[in-house]
Amino acid sequence: MFTGIVEECGRVLERDGSRLTVEADATLGGIEIGSSVAVNGVCLTAVAIGSGDLAFDLGPETLSRTALADLGPGDSVNLERPMRLDGFLGGHLVLGHVDGVGSVIALDRAGETARLRIEWQGQDLAPLLIPQGSVAVDGVSLTVAALEAGAFEIMLIPHTLERTTLGALKPGRRVNLEMDVIGKYVLRVLSVRGEPR
């Protein structure tokens, strides 16, 4: 489990088949073979650890459900180690299980802040987004500022723009979306009971 508070931006060093190798520094602390690490919001298992890098194997399911297939050498990625159960929850509960992929429509700067507009794919995500609700975009815990049919907006503060990959997003870029886990469980319970959404 993660919090959506990015620890550092890593850089993709290599994509060799299903193997993804990422340059890392702060995220290496306490990581062992088999440890989980969120890479752009996707929970991956460390399969190799170097002096300044981590390697992960990407399965077909991960490649088909996330935007990780778009990554290539030189691309920046958001990295976060799992939350400690005795730690501080600074963002919101993030599982690293991507619900869908969105596409950046626009990143409009307004002074030191920015408004990021994202279109989502798949109407099944619509009930999981609410105004002022939580959403993780490429692993970053954010608040929905505006919501419309098929798209939502979030406001990015200077800290987020500087410390994550979101400030460099361009229109058309695909991003990983994870909706609020509590909302997903509520929706599932209602569905099983046959109650209207």
Residue 49 lies in a domain: yes
Number of structural domains, the chain? 2
> Model's pTM, two decimal places?
0.91
So what's the pLDDT on residue 122? 77
| pLDDT score of 194 | 77
Helix (H) or strand (E) holding 19: strand 19-23
List b or e across 15-24, with b for residues whose CB sees 16 or more CB atoms inside 10 angstroms: beeeebbbbb
Nearest to 23 by CA among 33, 11, 15: 11
Residue 62 maps to a domain:
yes
88 within domain boundaries: no
CB-neighbour burial class of residue 111 (10 A; exposed 0-12, middle 13-18, buried 19+)? exposed
Domain boundary residue, one of 47, 80, 113: 80
Q: In the block, which residue shows the tokens 């987004």?
A: 129
The span from the CA of 32 to the CA of 36, in Å, is 9
* Residue 51, pLDDT score: 94
Q: Which of 25, 45, 80 is the last residue of a domain?
A: 80
Q: Is 22 a member of any domain?
A: yes
Q: What local confidence, expressed as pLDDT, does residue 123 receive?
A: 79
Spatial distance between the Cα atoms of 64 and 58, rounded to a whole number of angstroms: 10
Q: Would you give the end-to-end CA distance of the chain in angstroms?
A: 27
Task: Quote the domain boundaries for residue 163.
Answer: 100-193
Q: How many CA atoms lie within 13 A of 103 on its CB side?
A: 7
Q: Which of 80, 108, 125 is the last residue of a domain?
A: 80
Q: What is the predicted pLDDT for the residue at 75?
A: 98
* Per-residue model confidence (pLDDT) at position 87: 65
> What are the 10-residue block averages of pLDDT along the chain, 197 residues in total?
92 95 96 97 97 97 96 97 72 84 96 96 83 94 93 96 97 95 69 71
